[in-house]
Structure formats: C-alpha cells, structure tokens
Amino acid sequence: MSDKSLKDAALSGLYHLSPPRLATVETSAERMRFCLIKADITQQTSIESALSQLGSAFQFPIWYGANFDALYDCLCDPDWQPAKGHVLIINGMAHLRAADPDDFATLIEVFQAVAEARRERQAPFWILIDTPARGIPTFPEA
C-alpha cells in the first residue's frame, strides 16, 4: 500500500495483514510519522491476559481496566497517543481464537467499532491483525 493510501482515513479500519507485507507497512507508517505500535499476544490464552497485554503494549493510562469497554474507550480517546495517524499491529490472535472463540469474536467487534469511530473523525487509524477472521478484509495492496 502506498503512503497516500495509508493516509486515506476513508480506507482505514480493521484488516488482516499477512506477515510478508509487515515490513512494507511498518516502513510506510514510520515514513509518514504515524504512531506505530506493535502488540504480541501470542502467549496470552485468556481474554483477560490478552487485554492486559494490549494495555501495556499500547501504553494506556493507569485507569485502563483491561476489559472490552476500557479498550474501546482508550483507543477512541483523541488524547491517547496523539498523532496524525495510527497503525496498530497485533500478532498472536490465532492463539486467542483457539482458546476462546467467543471472546475472540467480541475483541474483533470492539476493534471494528473503534475503527468506525476513528473513521468518522476522519483520522487514519489502522488495526492490523495477523489472523484471518470472518468479515475482516485483507489489507489492501498498493
């Protein structure tokens, strides 16, 4: 994906990103001075531990409660990690899906809601996951 496309808030959202494309996306995000944050939840087998790990990786405030509502609130907060654009890369989603498919589905719903809220504010905000999921498109090509 070109830098111009990555800037387009109308295209931003929740996508599956295949590992071979990771370096290209990271380079583009860094070149554009977007806030680029990577989280690895591979070792997490419960939603509680996964949400806690996401909070640490994303450097959420101390009040973050490691639950779905708090995740949504923090990611939608315009004061969290101020930047002209955001790219969040989350690895290890397959482990969570295998351990608890229902919580995995809820996490996907929260990410979709965050992406929609950010898109409405016309802010480039990308959440890229390493695991294909029903209803989640593959990250667009350049």
CATH of the domain at 95: 3.30.370.10
Which residues, listed in sequence order, are joined to residue 40 by a DSSP beta bridge? 91
Residue 31 domain flag: yes
Residue 33 domain flag: yes
* Rg of the Cα atoms in the chain: 14
Go through 5-26 and write b for each residue having 16 or more CB atoms within 10 A of its CB, e for each that does not. ebeebeebbbbebeeeebeebe
Residue 141 domain flag: no
Residue 138 domain flag: no
Q: Domains in the chain: how many in total? A: 1
Residue 101 domain flag: yes
Cα separation values, 113 from 21, 24, 33, 52, 95, Å: 25, 26, 24, 19, 22
Domain of 8 in residue numbering reads as 3-129
Residue 86 domain flag: yes
pLDDT tens series, the chain, 142 aa: 555 678 888 899 999 998 888 999 999 999 999 999 999 999 988 999 999 999 999 999 999 999 999 999 999 998 899 899 999 999 999 999 999 999 999 999 999 999 999 988 888 999 999 999 999 999 987 5
Residue 140 domain flag: no
